[in-house]
A = this chain, B = another copy of it.
Amino acid sequence: METKEYLKYIVEEIHTTIVATVDDEGLPVTAAIDMMDYDNDSLYFLTAKGKGFYDRLTKRQFLALTAMKGEDTMSSIAVSIRGKVRDLGHDKIPELFKKNPYMHQIYPTEESMKALTVFQIYEGTGEWFDLSKKPIERASFNFGKVEIKREGYFVTDNCIGCGSCLSVCPQSCIITTGIPYVIEQEHCLHCGNCLNTCPAGAVVRR
Interface of chain A: mostly helix, strand, loop or mixed: mixed
Partner-B contacts on A (CB < 8 A) = 15-22, 26-32, 34, 48-52, 60, 62-66, 68, 70, 72-74, 76, 78, 80, 82, 102, 105-109, 111-116, 129, 131, 134, 136, 151, 153, 167-170, 189-193, 195-196, 205
Q: Are A32's CB and B170's CB within 8 A?
A: no
Q: Are B105's CB and A68's CB within 8 A?
A: no
What is the CA–CA distance of A76 and B18 in the complex, to the nearest angstrom?
12
Given contacts A65-B30, A74-B105, contact A153 B50 (CB under 8 A): yes
Q: Are B31's CB and A66's CB within 8 A?
A: yes
Query: What number of copies of this chain does the assembly contain?
Result: 2
**A28, A63, A136 pick with most chain B CB within 10 angstroms:** A28
Identify the 9 closest CB pairs spanning chains A and B, nearest first: A50-B192, A20-B20, A18-B18, A112-B170, A48-B191, A115-B191, A20-B28, A28-B64, A30-B66
Some 22 contacts from A to B, beta carbons below 8 A apart, are: A15-B73, A16-B68, A18-B30, A18-B68, A20-B28, A22-B26, A22-B27, A28-B28, A28-B62, A29-B82, A30-B30, A30-B82, A32-B129, A34-B73, A50-B153, A50-B191, A51-B190, A106-B131, A111-B193, A114-B193, A115-B191, A116-B191
**A15, A18, A66, A134 pick with most chain B CB within 10 angstroms:** A18
**A49, A64, A102, A105 pick with most chain B CB within 10 angstroms:** A64
Q: Are B20's CB and A191's CB within 8 A?
A: no
> A56 CB to closest chain B CB, in angstroms?
9
The 8 Å CB contact of A189, one of B27, B29, B30, B106, is B106
Q: Are A30's CB and B64's CB within 8 A?
A: yes
Q: Are B193's CB and A115's CB within 8 A?
A: yes
